[in-house]
Structure formats: C-alpha cells, structure tokens
Amino acid sequence: MRYAAFSRRENMPPYSSTTEQEVRRRAEKYLDSCRVYSNSSYEREQELNDWIDKPRVAEKLMGDFEKRAGPLPGKSVLDIGFGGGFFSIAFARKGARVSGLEVNKVLADIAHEQVAQAGVEADLRLYDGHTFPYERESFDYCYSTSVLEHVDDAQTMLSEIGRVLKKGGACYLSFPNRLRPKETHTGIYFLSYLPRSVADRLMRTLFGRTTVEDINLHFISFLKLKRMLRKTPLVIKDESNGGSLPKRILKKALKLLSLHHSAILGTVMVVLEKKV
C-alpha cells in the first residue's frame, strides 16, 4: 500500500506550532490502538514523553546527521520506520527529498497529520516489513533510529538498506546496545543480558508487564551488527578522528580492537557506507 506524496500548502502553520497536547493526543491514539503498554505505566509514560520530545530531538539530530553522513539539501533520504513522521519532517525542512516506510497503519495515519500540519513534502508508504518497495540504488541516504531492535529479521533489513542505497551512499543507524545495564524499553537492569525467551518469560511471570514478545523486542550488540554486515555491501564508517584529544585517543584504541566507539555506549550509533 502506498501513501501519496504530500504537497506543500501555502497556509499551513509551521511545524513548531504543533503543541505538546497535540503530540500527546496522537501518541495516546497510537498506544491505545495497539494496547502494547497497557500493563505498564512506566513504559507508557516513557513512550509518551519520548513522543513529546521528538520534534526537538529530530531538529537537533539534523546537524549530527550532516556532520557524520553528509549534506542534506537536494539529497534523497529513506526514513525507515518513520513512526509519527517527526524525522521525515525534519529531513524535508533541511531540503531533502524524503521517502519513508512504516508497517503500522495508525502510525502512518498520524504521520499524515503531522506532515500536513508541517506543510512539507514526503512520500510515506506502508510496506510488508521485509522487502523495500524501491529499485536498487534509489537513495543517497537511509535513516533508522530505534527500529532495528523491533524488526523480525534484522539481517534482511540491513541487506535491503544495502540494496537501495546508491554506491557511496550512507545510512545513519542507531539502536539500544544490548550491553547497556538498564534495558531501554522496560527500565529493567540486565534484562537484555538474558536469552530473549528467558527475558520474555521473566517479564510475563515475575513483573506482569508488557513482554518482550509483545513489543517484538530483540537484543542487539555492536558485535552482532558487525556479523550481520558481512552479508551486505555496507561497512561502518571510521569516525576515530573526531572529538577532543582524550576522546580521539579512546576511539583510536577501540579501533585497534576493530570496535566503533559507540560499541561501549548505551546506544550503538554508527554511519554505514555502501562500498563503491
């Protein structure tokens, strides 16, 4: 199924006019539709706060994206798992030609509202969660944040990114690090250290909360990402020369171990480049 491209509307209010109340209403609409966090006030409130903060986060991320991946004006960007459309809007505001993929119809409908209110253009589509509906080498950039850990087959998603990226193109990718002591979605310490089946059973029986299976949560480490990338034309960009002197020293030391610096952080955040 495809959503038609949005056209710029002359009298639409700026994206900044979207109030916290509007964003919260849309977030509650999504959460009520899927009932994923109905058993956990912690997870529900965390998700609502995340939505409210996303417009600011999306605008701020554009600077980091351009610094690490490349300039956006006039470039084609694929927003994978666009959710409520916050990042698609931010990319469009930077002058990029934006396309997006999502598996959830409620989220896609919400993104409709958000993009229309922002008055920008974005070609947002529903898809089957596996094969991207685009030809080979269609995009200059791909973008995916906090999505990889929720897909059934992360290997397929990475392979599809490698297929639709142009040679020399880049993908800005991030996901929670499995080695982070406090699991991001549940707030439970060391949950991600357990086998997924054990973590799911623990959530269901001991905590009586949203389970790992309910939110289709998978635990991924940097080393697992590296293993999956071997089957793709993608490589992790060397970013060991940036930052202050102490940070550069640490990055260089980790590079000697074939590690990106985010391998030891709470969030793995890398730029993948497609081999020329």
Name the strand (E) or helix (H) holding 253: helix 245-256
Evaluate if pTM is beyond 0.85.
yes
**pLDDT score at 32:** 85
- Please spell the DSSP secondary structure of 4-38, one letter per residue: PPPPP-TTPPPGGG--HHHHHHHHHHHHHHH-TTT
Per-residue pLDDT of the chain (276 residues; tens, 9 = 90+): 333 333 333 333 444 456 888 888 998 888 888 876 666 677 788 888 889 999 999 999 999 999 999 999 999 999 999 999 999 999 999 999 999 999 999 999 999 899 999 999 999 999 999 999 999 999 999 999 999 999 999 999 999 999 999 999 999 999 999 999 999 888 899 999 999 999 999 988 888 777 788 889 999 999 999 999 999 999 999 999 989 999 999 999 999 999 999 999 999 999 999 997
pLDDT of 173 reads 98
Q: What is the dihedral of CA 66, 68, 69, 70, to 10 degrees?
A: 40
pLDDT at 28: 87
- So what's the pLDDT on residue 155? 98
